[in-house]
Structure formats: structure tokens, C-alpha cells
Amino acid sequence: MTRALVLFAHPCGESFSAALHSEVVSVLQGRGWDVDDCDLNAEGFNPVLSEAERRGYHDEPTNTGPVARYVERVRAADALVMVFPVWNFGYPAILKGFLDRVFLPGVSFKLGEDGKVRPNLRHITKLAAVTTYGGTRMRAMLCGDPPRKCVTRAVWHVCRPQKMRYLALYDMNKATTATRDAFLRKVNAEMEAF
């Protein structure tokens, strides 16, 4: 059975992001996947990397102590699906903090003697992001679209998945019910084929 870790990062249950999250979880469960549904806000995840954690960042394996439960969940996953809105051209702080605190040396990567980062989440064979942007695709591109690059380059690099999807609804500031419904259908179809 395929196990998916779904990382959800939005504090409001009535948000469109919450609807996307529900769709992802529902489709994957409907396909018989074992879904570890990690709602970072509901779980009260602390995104702040403390001074002690930063000082011990490279001390494997003790660096995982403060976030051991989350490290276990990442290590148990065959697939990773991130569901989040783009705020200020980046991840919500809680998701950024998850990556800062959990994607540690010895967890998501190995740092070689030569200083090169080597992927360490090769067991994650599928990676997806489902996200929304307030602005247009052009506006995001003019700013470099950091969230897209972070997922499709940085997170991709530490996993090297066989399958990768980046599903984004741009221009949420002008989205209609029809636009949102069409994106929900797209997410449904992508998760059915994931």
C-alpha cells in the first residue's frame, strides 16, 4: 500500500485551500492509499527553529530530537503532497518552518565532505504541490516564482521522485466559482492519476 504524507498549511477551515486539501485526501484514500494527513496548524506545529536547534543542526542523529515524530512521518512516506496558499511570494511560515526544522541533515539530505548536498529521501517516489496564488502567473514569474522553484528544485532534489506535479491556480484575487470548481476537478484528476 502506498503511504502519502499530505502536508497542509492553512489556518482557516473554510478556505479554498482547505477544500483542495480535502479533495487531495479524499481522492488518495479512495484509491486505497494510506494517507498521513498532517494539518500543520491543527497539530499546532511550531515553525520556529530555536537557537539550540540551529546550533545542533548538523549533529546527526540528535538533530532530529525536537521533531522526531515528524521525521518518522517523513521517513514512512512513499509520496509527499504539499497543499498550501502562496503568501507574499512564498510558503506560509508554518510550512517554511516545517522544512527548516524537519528537512534536516541526515533526514532529507546528506552533506558530503565536499560540501555537496546529496538526496536522502529517495524512498519518496511521488511529489506534488497543490497551491493557489493571489496574483497572476506573470506577476509570479516576474518575482521568480519562489514557491514553484522551491518545490520543483529544492524539495525535488532531496527526493528525486519518479513523478512530480505542481498544480497552481493563479489569480485567486479574481477567481470565480467556475474557476475554482475547474481547478478542483483538475486536482481530482491529477490525484486519481498520481
User: Which grid coordinates belong to 168?
Assistant: 497552481
User: Which grid coordinates belong to 141?
Assistant: 514569474
Per-domain residue ranges for the chain? 3-193
What pLDDT score was predicted for residue 29?
98
What pLDDT score was predicted for residue 65?
97
What residues are paired with 131 via a beta bridge? 84, 168
Q: Using 50, 70 and 90 to split pLDDT, how confident is the model at 17?
A: very high
Compute the distance between CA of residue 102 and CA of residue 108 in angstroms, rounded to an integer.
Answer: 8
What pLDDT score was predicted for residue 112?
87
Domain spanning 3-193, CATH class: alpha beta
How do residues 106-157 score in pLDDT, each as one tens digit?
A: 999 998 889 899 999 999 999 999 999 999 889 888 888 999 999 999 999 9
- How large is the average pLDDT for residues 161-172? 96
User: Which grid coordinates belong to 161?
Assistant: 521522485
HEC profile of the chain: CCEEEEEECCCCCCCHHHHHHHHHHHHHHHCCCEEEEEECCCCCCCCCCCHHHHHCCCCCCHHHHHHHHHHHHHHHCCEEEEEEEEECCECCHHHHHHHHHHCCECCCEEECCCCCEEECCCCCCEEEEEEEECCCHHHHHHCCCHHHHHHHHHHHHHHCCCEEEEEEECCHHHCCHHHHHHHHHHHHHHHHHC
Residue 174 scores a pLDDT above 90 = yes
What pLDDT score was predicted for residue 115?
87
Compute the distance between CA of residue 50 and CA of residue 163 in angstroms, rounded to an integer.
Answer: 34
How do residues 28-83 score in pLDDT, each as one tens digit?
A: 999 999 999 999 999 999 999 999 999 999 999 999 999 999 999 999 999 999 99
Q: Using 50, 70 and 90 to split pLDDT, how confident is the model at 1?
A: confident
pTM of the model: 0.95
Neighbour tally for 13: CB within 10 Å? 13
